[in-house]
Structure 1
Amino acid sequence: MLHNDPIARLTPEVVAWRHHIHANPELGFQEVETARFVAEKLRSFGLEVQEGIGGTGVVGTLRAGSGKRAIGLRAELDALPVIERTGLPYASKTEGVMHACGHDGHSAMLLGAAKLLSEAPDFDGTVHFIFQPAEENEGGSMKMIEAGLFERFPVEAVYAVHNWPGVPFGTIAARAGAQMAAVDNFELRFSGLGAHVAMPHLGDDPILAAGAFIQSVQRIVSRAVDPQTPIVVSLTQVHGGNVGNIVPKEIWLQGTCRFFDPALSDLCERLIGEIADGVAASHGVSAILDYKRGYPPVINTAEAAALAARAAAAAVGPDNVSTEFKPSLGCEDFAFMIRAAGGCYAWIGAGEVGPGEGLHGGRYVFNDAIVPHVLRYWQSLVAGALPKVAP
């Protein structure tokens, strides 16, 4: 019966924690109160707790039995600079900041797993519950790694989940190999003399150069890469000029590249530079490129992915587990942790959503009904990774 099911009993408490975190969002590396809330809960469950790792990161450690093996489970603390438009009773109290990606749910569910496992430690070994700052664009996982995360808390693999709107509710998806893309970002400036619009011959026109670049750079996707290789090159910002009758001296562009093959990072940097220089030379302006390498691809290791699939089957049933699907060209800084320690990143199906209600939107609403699925998944994963040895 439900009242005898510890996960059913725990779920309302986890949802309440999620609503509290949602109402009090904090941006990357500013998650002071969120980290304090997490640390206090972990201590109340009897875990060893270390704070301030890589900024505002928190690690809670739970040991059971005499086993020497250890794994890590990770969730994110940070919110986004998004104006909330949900109208929920627990909506963000901080104007312009919102948990629009589900990190509030991920943290609350990992706290729930810590409490569940502390009350019934049906495993042999050590679990490190990792709460990382600044997943959104700031690379908080790398900051934790640089601060000695895996030297201080060694693991044989690390695992994470992410709610995934659009994936059928009640399903879990994890695949060996690439699940999320790498991301590189770039900024480009075309500079010249500018001119009065009535006398364009007395100057030059960075706007024309920018327009030519925007068209030409797409040849990377259409002509420089095997068409069966997933890659996206997108321009996301173009700025320049502030007077209606003056051709500006400078145009600034920003863009991003997404791909699964890490070798494409070098190719994109080289070709974007060559295209920019060629366009600049043909238009009589100069080009300065600042190419920034971002998150690597999330590449699940085979053994960890297999363990995750078995745990998912135990949690939601074998028919609701997907291991063969198209990866996403979205990015995720959990890639750094998998690259350092091995592991697996899984999507938790949150069901269908309407326009503007997906991740990073102001009307996004985390589906609290996935909480028991994730608690069972974490419980099964830990039991499978750190099995008790029969006496």
Structure 2
Amino acid sequence: MWDSLFEAIDSQYENMVKTRRYLHQHPEVSFHESETASFIADTYKRLGIPYERNVGGNGIVATLKGGKPGRKVALRADFDALPIQEENDVAYKSKNDGVMHACGHDGHTASLLGLAEALLPFQDQIPGTVVFIHQHAEELPPGGAKAMIDTGVLDDVDAVFGTHLWATAPLGTIQTSKGPFMAGTDSFTIKIQGKGGHGAQPHLTKDAIVIGSQLVSSLQQVVSRRVDPLHTAVLTVGTFEAGQTFNIIADSSTLTGTVRTFNPEVQEVIIAEMEKLIKGACIGNGADYQFDYQKGYPPVINHPEQADLILQEAGKADSSLQTEEVDPSMAGEDFAYYLENKPGAYYFTGAQIPDHTYPHHHPKFNFDERALPHAAKTLIQAYRSYQEQNS
């Protein structure tokens, strides 16, 4: 049955491409994916697979109960886009101004829908129950995962798997790690209130640009001098806004940035050390400040046993696939919430276009569509391996 199923998934390739390109032309940003949700729901309605809409927001959950006894396993795909103006010159370019599928979520959705259609003729032969989780709002915290989980979508699920089409990994590669895989993603805002004045009279001011500049530099010492070098962390200042014109000393400035960690203790060290440095720089220069630190998605921590299933058995789905255990990525994903609740694993499906080096979230992002069946086949292979391991 399984070999026939994998052939059926391959036969869905053109349909997956068609679905992906339609979604790519009609992207919707996080929490506003109503048309995309309707498209997904209409697909399950056409297939006759039971589904629920508006799960935790715009989320959709479909369920295919197999004809043989087994475990209940969830497979997840996200479907939101990003507020980016597309610069690709392709026939399926985004029709929505300023919105683009620049991370591959259109492909995730196409793969999971294609898998559902390929599975349907084999329903009586499938052990257990497949839960198709179509999640909204991955790109924008607080995200859609937690809200969907809070509705109970995982309550009677035994395990959960997901994949991300990865445009910087070679086509035909499957990458994951047994443990930390993607970082926790926090954000911060620092507002400095000094005293402005004439550019010719700096001694009468409290220069918010100078204070902010000191912080940009000194904050880099948090990771290099306050965090154990055996622990991984990133602190990045992404924006610095201040000033109005060339001859006025700014009275205020605002810095924003991100912190990435895998360890909650490291996260707390960074927050405390940032507060000390900000307080010292501002109070020492007679300025006031506001420090707003927002904890975002937790790190994606794969369960070793389920990650090992991916590494050891993904090749059974397609002999051309090669698995690779890789170092964790400092990018983030709210799939972390699923893994906090149930055993499972997340992995990358290589989708790199040769000589196309644009990364995720770039206006010219794109991926090799031949990876679509790879994603579908490895997801159902993870399902199969888990069923066999726990039969």
Of the candidates 227, 236, 252, which is equivalent to residue 225 of structure 1? 227
2:340 paired residue number: 339
- The amino acid of 1:140's aligned partner reads G
Task: State the secondary structure of the residue aligned to 2:370.
Answer: helix
Task: State the secondary structure of the residue aligned to 1:332.
Answer: coil
- The answer on whether the counterparts of 1:171 and 1:316 sit within 8 Å (CA) in structure 2 is no
Change (3 A) 1:310 1:379: same
Query: Following superposition of structure 1 onto structure 2, how do residues 267-282 of structure 1 map, counting pairs within 5 Å?
Result: 267-282=269-284
Residues 1:327 and 2:328 are matched in the alignment = yes
Task: Please give the alpha-carbon distance, in whole angstroms, between the structure 2 residues aligned to 1:171 and 1:364.
Answer: 19
Task: State the secondary structure of the residue aligned to 1:150.
Answer: coil
- The amino acid of 1:339's aligned partner reads E
Of the candidates 144, 152, 161, which is equivalent to residue 148 of structure 1? 152
- The answer on whether the counterparts of 2:233 and 2:259 sit within 8 Å (CA) in structure 1 is yes
1:132 paired residue number: 135
Residues 1:50 and 2:19 are matched in the alignment = no
- The amino acid of 2:351's aligned partner reads A
- The answer on whether the counterparts of 1:234 and 1:255 sit within 8 Å (CA) in structure 2 is yes
- The answer on whether the counterparts of 2:196 and 2:207 sit within 8 Å (CA) in structure 1 is yes
Q: CA deviation at 1:388?
A: 11
Task: State the secondary structure of the residue aligned to 1:185.
Answer: strand
Q: CA deviation at 1:356?
A: 5.6
TM-score norm. by structure 1 comes to: 0.93
- The answer on whether the counterparts of 2:161 and 2:382 sit within 8 Å (CA) in structure 1 is no
Task: State the secondary structure of the residue aligned to 2:361.
Answer: coil
Q: CA deviation at 1:48?
A: 1.1
- The answer on whether the counterparts of 2:179 and 2:303 sit within 8 Å (CA) in structure 1 is yes
Task: Please give the alpha-carbon distance, in whole angstroms, between the structure 1 residues aligned to 2:262 and 2:358.
Answer: 27
- The answer on whether the counterparts of 2:174 and 2:321 sit within 8 Å (CA) in structure 1 is no
1:171 paired residue number: 173
Query: Following superposition of structure 1 onto structure 2, how do residues 274-313 of structure 1 map, counting pairs within 5 Å?
Result: 274-313=276-315
Residues 1:89 and 2:91 are matched in the alignment = yes
Query: Following superposition of structure 1 onto structure 2, how do residues 174-185 of structure 1 map, counting pairs within 5 Å?
Result: 174-185=176-187
Task: Please give the alpha-carbon distance, in whole angstroms, between the structure 1 residues aligned to 2:390 and 2:344.
Answer: 23
Task: Please give the alpha-carbon distance, in whole angstroms, between the structure 2 residues aligned to 1:95 and 1:338.
Answer: 35
Task: Please give the alpha-carbon distance, in whole angstroms, between the structure 2 residues aligned to 1:261 and 1:283.
Answer: 33
Query: Following superposition of structure 1 onto structure 2, how do residues 103-252 of structure 1 map, counting pairs within 5 Å?
Result: 103-121=105-123, 122-138=125-141, 139-151=143-155, 154-252=156-254
Q: CA deviation at 1:66?
A: 5.0
- The answer on whether the counterparts of 1:85 and 1:363 sit within 8 Å (CA) in structure 2 is yes
Tell which deviates more after alignment, 110-119 or 66-75.
Answer: 66-75
What does the per-residue CA deviation read over 1:50-93, in whole Å, with 9 as the maximum and x for residues that have no partner? 01011100000110125362111000110011111111111100
1:377 paired residue number: 378
What does the per-residue CA deviation read over 1:181-201, in whole Å, with 9 as the maximum and x for residues that have no partner? 111110001102211112222
Task: State the secondary structure of the residue aligned to 2:381.
Answer: helix
- The amino acid of 1:375's aligned partner reads A
Task: Please give the alpha-carbon distance, in whole angstroms, between the structure 1 residues aligned to 2:390 and 2:210.
Answer: 70
Q: CA deviation at 1:280?
A: 0.7
Q: CA deviation at 1:25?
A: 0.3
Of the candidates 7, 13, 20, which is equivalent to residue 15 of structure 2? 13
Task: Please give the alpha-carbon distance, in whole angstroms, between the structure 1 residues aligned to 2:10 and 2:350.
Answer: 19
TM-score norm. by structure 2 comes to: 0.93
- The answer on whether the counterparts of 1:300 and 1:345 sit within 8 Å (CA) in structure 2 is yes
Q: CA deviation at 1:309?
A: 2.5
Task: Please give the alpha-carbon distance, in whole angstroms, between the structure 2 residues aligned to 1:253 and 1:217.
Answer: 11
- The amino acid of 2:338's aligned partner reads M
Structure 1: 5+ residue stretches without partners: none
- The amino acid of 1:10's aligned partner reads Q
What does the per-residue CA deviation read over 1:102-146, in whole Å, with 9 as the maximum and x for residues that have no partner? 000000000011111122134221111001111112211112123
Task: Please give the alpha-carbon distance, in whole angstroms, between the structure 2 residues aligned to 1:372 and 1:135.
Answer: 22
Q: CA deviation at 1:352?
A: 5.4
Task: State the secondary structure of the residue aligned to 2:264.
Answer: coil
Count residues with an aligned counterpart.
386
- The answer on whether the counterparts of 1:192 and 1:204 sit within 8 Å (CA) in structure 2 is yes
- The answer on whether the counterparts of 2:168 and 2:357 sit within 8 Å (CA) in structure 1 is no
- The answer on whether the counterparts of 2:237 and 2:255 sit within 8 Å (CA) in structure 1 is yes
Task: Please give the alpha-carbon distance, in whole angstroms, between the structure 2 residues aligned to 1:388 and 1:269.
Answer: 42
Tell which deviates more after alignment, 109-118 or 97-106.
Answer: 109-118
- The answer on whether the counterparts of 1:123 and 1:382 sit within 8 Å (CA) in structure 2 is no
**Identical-pair percentage:** 35
- The amino acid of 1:175's aligned partner reads S
2:31 paired residue number: 29
1:386 paired residue number: 387
- The answer on whether the counterparts of 1:132 and 1:140 sit within 8 Å (CA) in structure 2 is yes
What does the per-residue CA deviation read over 1:156-211, in whole Å, with 9 as the maximum and x for residues that have no partner? 11111111122221111122101111111100011022111122222211111111
Residues 1:351 and 2:352 are matched in the alignment = yes
Change (3 A) 1:318 1:156: farther
Tell which deviates more after alignment, 188-197 or 55-64.
Answer: 188-197
- The answer on whether the counterparts of 1:262 and 1:297 sit within 8 Å (CA) in structure 2 is no
Change (3 A) 1:109 1:148: same
Task: Please give the alpha-carbon distance, in whole angstroms, between the structure 2 residues aligned to 1:319 and 1:158.
Answer: 21
